[in-house]
Amino acid sequence: MRAQAEHNKAFLDDLEQNAVKVQGAKESLSGLLKKYPDSPEARNWKRMLEDLNSRWAHAKHVTEERQQKLEKSANELASFQEAEGQLRPWLMEKELMMSVLGPLSIDPNMLNAQKQQVQVSQAKVLASAFVCLFGWS
């Protein structure tokens, strides 16, 4: 995503560098229209000037809009990857806990046994976290 944004940025820079050439062509066409307004080609020159203006404006607009979208997408992707990195260990821990517990039962006695298993697992996790944090056992 960042590579695409960089590539698009280079294209945008290239557009800006060619703005002088486009402006020169516009001025040439405008000069011809002022100098020879009654020429048989005047209508064609005017159409060319309008086409050049339209295409140039469209190219700049589309490229700038694409750059903004690429940068926004790259930032959102980075945020997602950061959140995913933080959630992955938690999710794996919960999946492990679910595999140990198995499916929940409807039977009240089985539910109580599963609740006790969760409490034991919770106590083990807290104890290991306490040891890791404080070095006590």
pLDDT in tens, 6-36: 888 898 899 899 999 999 999 999 999 999 9
Query: CA distances (Å), 38 to each of 28, 32, 116, 122, in order?
Result: 16, 10, 96, 90
Is the confidence at residue 5, as pLDDT, over 80?
A: yes
pLDDT (0 to 100) of residue 43: 94
For residues 69 and 120, membership in a common domain is answered with: no
For residues 59 and 120, membership in a common domain is answered with: no
Is the confidence at residue 116, as pLDDT, over 60?
A: yes
C-alpha span between 92 and 129 (Å, rounded): 17
For residues 47 and 111, membership in a common domain is answered with: no
pLDDT over 90 percentage in the chain: 50
pLDDT in tens, 70-102: 999 999 999 999 999 988 988 888 888 777 767
For residues 36 and 64, membership in a common domain is answered with: yes
Is the confidence at residue 137, as pLDDT, over 60?
A: no
For residues 93 and 38, membership in a common domain is answered with: yes
For residues 67 and 131, membership in a common domain is answered with: no
For residues 114 and 53, membership in a common domain is answered with: no
For residues 69 and 119, membership in a common domain is answered with: no
The closest of 22, 18, 46 to 32, measured between CA atoms, is: 46
For residues 24 and 57, membership in a common domain is answered with: yes
Domain of residue 44, residue span: 1-100
pLDDT (0 to 100) of residue 64: 93
For residues 65 and 128, membership in a common domain is answered with: no
For residues 77 and 111, membership in a common domain is answered with: no
pLDDT (0 to 100) of residue 26: 94
pLDDT over 70 percentage in the chain: 91
More confident residue, 81 or 2: 81
For residues 112 and 87, membership in a common domain is answered with: no
Domain count, the chain: 2
